[in-house]
Structure 1
Amino acid sequence: MTLLNHIAELFRNLNQQRLRSFLTIFGIMWGTATLILLLAFGMGFRDQTVLNMRGMGDQLAIMFPGQTTKAFEGYGIGRPIRYRESDAQLLQDQIADINIATPEYMSGIEISNGDRRRNSQVGGVYPVYQDLRNVFEEPGGRWLNENDIKDRRRVIFLGNRLAENLFEDEDPVGKQVFVRDTPFTVIGVLQDKIQNSSYSQRDMDRSFIPATTFSAMMGTDLINNILYVPKDPSLAKQVQDQVYEVMGRKHRFDPSDRDALGIWDTNEFWDFINVLFLGINGFLGLIGFFTLAVGGIGVANIMFVVVQERMKEIGIRRSVGAKRHHIMGQFFVETFMIIGMGAAAGYGIGWLLVEATQNIPIKEFVGAPYFSPEVGLIAFAVLGFVGFAAGMLPAWRASRLDIVECLRR
């Protein structure tokens, strides 16, 4: 019996039992659509969380000053540890696994434009800060450059919401604002970005000036933070230990005293995110799998009924020379075709549901679901397993039926 004959026979059977056939195919269709939608939401949620976190920077670590809690080499406890710019350079020079380290000055300062005034965390930074923190400018403006640092220029880069509060609908680039009654020229505005965490203030409300200008204007060489990026995120913990050793030697504190320095290493968060979303997507996939499995059970039940209804046909085929594997193959083909029709409809409905939920109101937090090749492959693998499980027992039973008993029907 050829494949075309199998197909023709299947459609004849489906046509004879339309309601039964519809309900069977609907179970697979709904299970497939549910699986796809759940996995698509899981992928969208994961990507949105990663995107939100990227507002802080990629594989970034931020060092904060602390105070000692252990006595060391004659020094008592409670001694504050303060950074200078040379500390950032020391880390980069002595720790081979650090790709870049840069200092950051910071202070809450009032910025004004006429009668519009806003308090902003003003950062004194170097040009490399842009890449570490993903701080990019809107078209028409620019970021700080080396000449700004060298000449101690009074130029300022504004967060997008800060610029809107100070200038409303005007283009601020090229105009002046006052920082502590000192005029600064606006050179750029932050390109809008999603940021769900910060260590001082969201970047859209912050402003940035050259580090050299900040130091001269504030009359200090004490920096607030040091930012560094390890060459390999997998070495983040090892790099942290080296940071404590290097800074411990420089500032005379016990390297095991973790309160002497505060380090927020976002690499630890990335590890947590990977494990978290592996669990979330696995859980969503499991729910979808069980939903699809219910449809598979329905297919298996129907195939058992079909075997009972077609026992005489099976007996005739066996009596004229059909082997057991021919009978098994016939029912396997029919099972997979039923599942294939339901799956095709389910893929289409799942895709439509994914497209229909692209603009959900809480998209900024949970992301938008999307139909990725990964989702399609997982759904295909689950369907293959369900199809095999649903077809195996009915096909095996059909191939093991007694010929004489079948012909008596």
Structure 2
Amino acid sequence: MTLLNHISELFKNLRQQKLRSFLTIFGIMWGTATLILLLAFGFGFRDQTVLNMRGMGDQLAIMFPGQTTKAFEGYGVGRPVRFREADAQMLEEQISDIGVATPEYSRNMTISNGQSRRSSSVGGVMPVYSNLRNIFEQPGGRWLNENDIQDRRRVIFIGNKLAENLFADEDPVGKRVLVDDTPFTVIGVMQEKLQNSSYNQRDEDRAFIPASTFSVMAGTDLINNILYVPVSAEIAPAVRDQVYEVMGKIHRFDPSDTDAIGLWDTNEFWSFIDVMFLGINGFLGLIGFFTLAVGGIGVANIMFVVVQERMKEIGIRRSVGARRHHIMGQFFVETFMIIGIGAAAGYGIGWLLVMATQNLPIKEFVGAPFFAPEVGMLAFLVLAIVGLAAGFLPAWRASRLDIVECLRN
């Protein structure tokens, strides 16, 4: 019996039992659409979380001054550790696994433009800071450069929300603002970005000036933070240990005294994200799998009924030479065709549902679902498992029927 004959026979049976066929195919269709929608939401949530976290920076570690809690080389406990601008360069030079390290000054200052005034966190930073923190300028402006650092220029880069509060609809680039009564020229405005965490203030509300200019204004080289990025996220824990070793030598504290330096390593979060979303997507996939399995049980039941209805056909085929694997193949093909019809419809409905939920007002929090290749492949794999499970027992039973008993019916 050829594949074409199998297909013809299947559609003949489907037409004869329209309601039964519809309910069977509907179970597979609904299970497939549910699985696709759940997985699409899971992948969308993962990507949105990663996008929000990237507002802080990629593989970034931020160091904060602390105070000692262990006695070391004659020094007592409770001694404050303060960073200097040169510490960042020392870290970069002495730890080869650090890709880049940079100092950061920070202080709340009043920024004003005419009658518009805002209290904002102003950072004194180096040009490399923008790449570490994913801060990029809008067209028509620029970020800080080396000349700004060397010449101690009074130039300022402002966040997009701060620019809106100070200048409303005006273009701020080239305009003057006062930073604690000191005039600065605006050289750029930050592109809008998503940011779900910060250690000072959201970048959209902040302003940035050259580190050298900040140091002169503050009259000190004592900095607030040091930022660094390891060359690879996998070696972040080892780099962290080296940081405590180097800083312990510079500032005379026990390298095991983790309170001497506060350290927020976002690489730990990235590792947690991978594990967390593996669990979330696995759970969503499991729900979808069970939903689809219910449809598979329906297919299996229907195929058992079909086997019972076609016992005489099976007996005739066996009596004229058909072997057991031919009978099994026939019912396997029919099972997979029923599942294939339902799956195709389910894929289409699932895709339409994913497209329809793209613009729900929840994107900033849980992201927008999307039909990723992984979603399609996982759905296909689950369908294959369900098809094998639903088709095996009916096909096996059909191939083991006694020829004489079949011909009696």
Structure 2 counterparts to residues 219-368 of structure 1, below 5 A? 219-368=219-368
Q: Which amino acid aligns with 2:37?
A: L
Shift of residue 42, structure 1, vs aligned partner: 0.2
Aligned counterpart, 1:211: 211
What secondary structure is seen at the aligned counterpart in 1 of 2:188? strand
Inter-partner Cα distance in structure 2 for 1:112 and 1:74: 49
Aligned counterpart, 1:372: 372
Q: Which amino acid aligns with 1:215?
A: S
Structure 2 counterparts to residues 62-77 of structure 1, below 5 A? 62-77=62-77
TM-score (norm 1): 1.00
What secondary structure is seen at the aligned counterpart in 2 of 1:104? strand
Inter-partner Cα distance in structure 2 for 1:359 and 1:2: 48
Q: Which amino acid aligns with 1:319?
A: S
Shift of residue 220, structure 1, vs aligned partner: 1.2
Q: Any unmatched runs of 5+ in structure 2?
A: none
Structure 2 counterparts to residues 4-403 of structure 1, below 5 A? 4-403=4-403
Shift of residue 112, structure 1, vs aligned partner: 0.2
Inter-partner Cα distance in structure 2 for 1:234 and 1:298: 47
Q: Once the two structures are superposed, what CA deviation does each residue of 1:230-283 show, in whole Å capped at 9, x if it has no partner?
A: 001100000000000000011110000000000000000000000000000000
What secondary structure is seen at the aligned counterpart in 1 of 2:259? coil
Inter-partner Cα distance in structure 2 for 1:379 and 1:390: 16
Shift of residue 59, structure 1, vs aligned partner: 0.2
Shift of residue 218, structure 1, vs aligned partner: 1.2
Inter-partner Cα distance in structure 2 for 1:141 and 1:220: 29
Inter-partner Cα distance in structure 1 for 2:197 and 2:145: 26
Shift of residue 92, structure 1, vs aligned partner: 0.4
Inter-partner Cα distance in structure 2 for 1:228 and 1:19: 65
Inter-partner Cα distance in structure 1 for 2:173 and 2:234: 41
Inter-partner Cα distance in structure 2 for 1:88 and 1:191: 27
Q: Which amino acid aligns with 1:368?
A: A
TM-score (norm 2): 1.00
Shift of residue 37, structure 1, vs aligned partner: 0.2
Moved runs in structure 1, 4+ residues, more than 6 A? Answer: none
Inter-partner Cα distance in structure 1 for 2:45 and 2:132: 24
Q: Once the two structures are superposed, what CA deviation does each residue of 1:310-351 show, in whole Å capped at 9, x if it has no partner?
A: 000000000000000000000000000000000000000000
Q: Any unmatched runs of 5+ in structure 1?
A: none
Q: How many equivalent residue pairs?
A: 409
Q: Once the two structures are superposed, what CA deviation does each residue of 1:166-217 show, in whole Å capped at 9, x if it has no partner?
A: 0000000000000011110000000000000000100000000000000001
Q: Which amino acid aligns with 1:408?
A: R
Shift of residue 362, structure 1, vs aligned partner: 1.1
Percent of aligned pairs with the same amino acid: 82
